[in-house]
C-alpha cells in the first residue's frame, strides 16, 4: 500500500466491536497518509486555504487507496469495504471509526486532541480503513496514551473543547473532547475557509512525530 501513497499501514482485529453491517468481516487494514509539514506549520491561529486544499487532496488519495485495496482483496476472493475518508453518518460520527481501527492496528494512540498520534508524524496524518474478512496477521494494538504531561493542544484550543484526558483503549470520545462545541466553533469562526469543516490548530501545535521533527530545517525555531 506504500506504493499507492500510504505512509503507514497496519492490520487490526475488530470482530469484537459489534458492527452488524460488517458481520463476518473481523479485520481492518488501517493506513495513514501524512500531511505536508510546510502547509501544517502555517496553521497557527486558524485554518488556511492551503490547509483546506491539502485536507481535501489527502482525503481523495485515501479514498483512492481504499478503493484499490478493496478491489485487490476482492480479486483475491475476500470481501472488503472501504470506509470513506471523511463522511459523517450522524452525530458527527463515521460509518466506522478510523481511529479505532488505527489503534487496533498499532499505528498510534488517541491524543488529548482526540486525534490519532503516530510516533512517526504525530497527528499530521489522515486515516483510511478497509474492513475485510481476510484473516490478516494483526499488529500489536496500542492501548494507552503516550501524551504524558503535555497539554499543549488543550491550552491552544480556541473553543476550549478539549478536556485534558489521558486516553486508554475503550474510552468514549465525549470524555476527551466536546465534539459538538468544536464543530459549532468551526462553523461560526472558519466558515469562509473550508465551510467550517477544518481548524487544524490542535494538529499543528502537537510536538510529537519523530520523522517530522527530524526533517525540520535547522533554522526552524
Residues that bind ligand SF4 (CB under 6 A): 111-113, 117, 147, 150-153, 157-159, 161-162, 177, 182, 185, 199, 201-202, 205-206, 208
Of all residues in the shown chain, the one whose CB is closest to ligand SF4 is 111
Q: Where are the beta strands (DSSP E) in the chain?
A: 8-13, 27-34, 80-83, 109-110, 116-117, 125-132
Residue among 150, 159, 88 nearest 123 (CA):
150
CB atoms within 10 A of CB 93: 11
**Which is nearer to ligand SF4, 100 or 113 (by Cβ)?**
113
Helix (H, G, I), strand (E, B) or coil at 201: helix
Residue 84 vs 158, nearer CB to ligand SF4: 158
Tell me the β-bridge partners of 121.
Answer: none
Find the shortest distance in angstroms from Cβ 145 to ligand SF4: 7
Which residue, 11 or 99, has its beta carbon nearer to ligand SF4? 99
Nearest distance, CB of residue 111 and ligand SF4, angstroms:
3
* Shortest distance, position 60 Cβ to ligand SF4, whole Å: 21
How far apart, in Å, are the Cα atoms of 37 and each of 88, 92, 113, 152? 26, 27, 18, 18
Nearer to ligand SF4, 22 or 121 (CB): 121
> How far apart are CB 89 and ligand SF4 at their closest, in Å?
20
Q: Of 125, 129, 124, 96, give the one whose Cα is nearest residue 12.
A: 129
Q: How far is the CB of 62 from ligand SF4 (least distance, A)?
A: 19
Of the pair 82, 111, the CB lying nearest ligand SF4 is at 111
Grid cell 526552524 is found at 220
Q: Tell me the C-alpha distance between 128 and 164, whole Å.
A: 26
Least separation in angstroms between CB 143 and ligand SF4: 16
Instruction: Give the separation between CA 36 and CA 97, rounded to whole angstroms.
Output: 23
What CA–CA distance (Å, rounded) separates 84 from 66?
Answer: 8
Which segments of 157-214 does DSSP mark as H helices, in order? 179-189, 201-204, 210-214
Closer residue to ligand SF4 in complex, CB, 22/212: 212
Amino acid at each position: 500500500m506504500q506504493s499507492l501513497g500510504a505512509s503507514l499501514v497496519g492490520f487490526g482485529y475488530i470482530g469484537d466491536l459489534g458492527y452488524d453491517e460488517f458481520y463476518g468481516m473481523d479485520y481492518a487494514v488501517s493506513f495513514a497518509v501524512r500531511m505536508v509539514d510546510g502547509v501544517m506549520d502555517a496553521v497557527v491561529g486558524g485554518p488556511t486555504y492551503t490547509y483546506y486544499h491539502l485536507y481535501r487532496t489527502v482525503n481523495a488519495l485515501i479514498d483512492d487507496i481504499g478503493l484499490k485495496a478493496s478491489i485487490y482483496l476482492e480479486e483475491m476472493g475476500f470481501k472488503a469495504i472501504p470506509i470513506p475518508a471523511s463522511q459523517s453518518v450522524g452525530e458527527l460520527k463515521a460509518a466506522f471509526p478510523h481511529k479505532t481501527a488505527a489503534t487496533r492496528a498499532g499505528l498510534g494512540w488517541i491524543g488529548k486532541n482526540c486525534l490519532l498520534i503516530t510516533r512517526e508524524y504525530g497527528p499530521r496524518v489522515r486515516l483510511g480503513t478497509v474492513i475485510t474478512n481476510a484473516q490478516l496477521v494483526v499488529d500489536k494494538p496500542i492501548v494507552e496514551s503516550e501524551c504524558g504531561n503535555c497539554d499543549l493542544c488543550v491550552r491552544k484550543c480556541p473553543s476550549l473543547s478539549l478536556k485534558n484526558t489521558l486516553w486508554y483503549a475503550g474510552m468514549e470520545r465525549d470524555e476527551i473532547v466536546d465534539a459538538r462545541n468544536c464543530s459549532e466553533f468551526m462553523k461560526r469562526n472558519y466558515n469562509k475557509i473550508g465551510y467550517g469543516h477544518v481548524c487544524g490548530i490542535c494538529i499543528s501545535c502537537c510536538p510529537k512525530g519523530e520523522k517530522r521533527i527530524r526533517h525540520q530545517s535547522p533554522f526552524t525555531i
